[in-house]
């Protein structure tokens, strides 16, 4: 994807809109107003201010023709968000990498109702790092080690490590202790996640997800588990723990979904990305980053 002709502003990338293959709109502005009728006033303000541009970075006007399959860029107004009341701890920083200890309840990247209240946008703003980009992601309700690239030039090398499974990840979880459960065990299953459906699910077929589950200790009926995912399917560890009969404490998705208010921080999911280890693609050095957080049920 080509670089956007607008810079990051206030921690946020511009929105990229692809115009349809065809349509009845005589101008680009007519298309925008038809697509976002509830934003008519703000869109017209943005066009008048020269804040809606084409691929070359040229501002569009009311006379700019509708060009099928072309792109427009603009800044959308972020939603009004309550601050997630937890801070991000920095574990490591150099010219290429920023490694943080993400708290529970903070999204990794802007999504849905969480835009400014995401680790990416907070860090871009607080550290003045407009090119900051995640090398991977953690679920909003999972805490632990999260790695970002600082410069555009370093982005591909580190993201490829995750894409090619050249990263060793270790998670920790708290769940009920079942003395009858024989551990360690490697769980293999086929997991699918359908668009628009909250839960992932295991289905018959060739396994595409693999996790090793180990017991670290058990105290008063609660087990502390080490989770070693070989693959990275959506909700894989949560689903595999649930399938063993020991769902992770605080998990409102598995085995059954129940609703939790967005501002209810009373029962965090007891899942922590404890460490990440890999061979650095730039220096060849062995890297290991470990969370300083501790799960406490």
Reported as a single tens digit per residue, the pLDDT across 180-211 is: 999 999 999 999 999 989 999 999 999 999 99
Q: Is 139 a catalytic residue?
A: yes
Q: Do both 47 and 119 map to the same domain? A: no
Q: Do both 68 and 131 map to the same domain? A: no
Contacts of 278 (CB under 8 A, 6+ apart): 161, 166, 167, 168, 286, 287
Average pLDDT on 90-115 reads: 95
Contacts of 5 (CB under 8 A, 6+ apart): 53, 54, 55, 56, 57, 73
User: Which residue range is the domain that position 147 belongs to?
Assistant: 89-290
Q: Do both 38 and 176 map to the same domain? A: no
Q: Do both 117 and 48 map to the same domain? A: no
Token pair belonging to 122: 């907070």
Average pLDDT on 44-64 reads: 95
Q: How far apart are CA 109 and CA 130, in angstroms?
A: 14
Q: Do both 167 and 286 map to the same domain? A: yes
Choose the catalytic residue: 96, 101, 139, 251: 139
CA angle 92, 234, 77 (to 5 degrees): 70
Q: Nearest to residue 132, comparing CAs of 111, 112, 108?
A: 108
Quick check: is 296 in a domain?
no
- The rounded radius of gyration (Å) of the Cα atoms in the chain is 22
Q: How far apart are CA 250 and CA 240, in angstroms?
A: 15
Please give, one letter per residue, the 3-state secondary structure of 142-182: CEEEEEEECCHHHHHHHHHHHHCCCCEEEEEEEEECCCCCC
Query: In the chain, pLDDT over 90 holds for what percent of residues?
Result: 91
Quick check: is 158 in a domain?
yes
Task: Report the predicted TM-score, pTM, of the whole model to 2 decimal places.
Answer: 0.89
Domains of the chain: total: 2
pLDDT at 2: 66
pLDDT at 112: 82
């Amino acid at each position: 994807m080509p670089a956007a002709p607008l810079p990051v502003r206030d921690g946020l990338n511009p929105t990229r809109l692809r115009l349809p293959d065809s349509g009845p709109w005589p101008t680009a502005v007519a298309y925008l107003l038809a697509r976002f009728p509830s934003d008519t006033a703000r869109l017209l303000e943005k066009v008048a201010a020269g804040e809606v541009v084409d691929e070359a970075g040229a501002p569009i006007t009311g006379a700019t023709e509708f060009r099928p399959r072309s792109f427009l860029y603009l800044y959308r107004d972020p939603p009004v968000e309550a601050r997630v009341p937890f801070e991000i701890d920095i574990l490591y920083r150099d010219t290429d990498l920023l490694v943080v200890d993400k708290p529970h309840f903070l999204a990794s990247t802007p999504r849905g109702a969480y835009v400014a209240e995401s680790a990416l946008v907070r860090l871009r703003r607080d550290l003045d790092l407009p090119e900051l980009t995640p090398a991977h992601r953690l679920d909003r309700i999972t805490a632990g080690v999260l790695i970002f690239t600082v410069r555009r030039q370093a982005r591909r090398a580190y993201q490829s490590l995750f894409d090619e499974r050249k990263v060793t990840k270790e998670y920790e979880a708290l769940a009920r202790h079942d003395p009858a459960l024989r551990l360690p065990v490697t769980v293999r299953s086929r997991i699918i996640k359908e668009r628009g459906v909250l839960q992932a699910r295991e289905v018959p077929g060739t396994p595409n997800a693999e996790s090793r589950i180990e017991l670290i200790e058990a105290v008063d009926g609660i087990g502390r588990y080490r989770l070693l995912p070989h693959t990275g399917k959506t909700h894989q560890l949560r689903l595999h723990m649930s399938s063993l009969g020991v769902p992770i404490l605080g998990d409102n998705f598995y085995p059954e979904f129940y609703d939790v208010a967005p501002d209810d921080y009373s029962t965090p999911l007891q899942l922590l990305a404890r460490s990440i280890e890999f061979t650095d693609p730039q220096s060849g050095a062995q890297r290991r980053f470990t969370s300083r957080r501790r799960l406490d049920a």
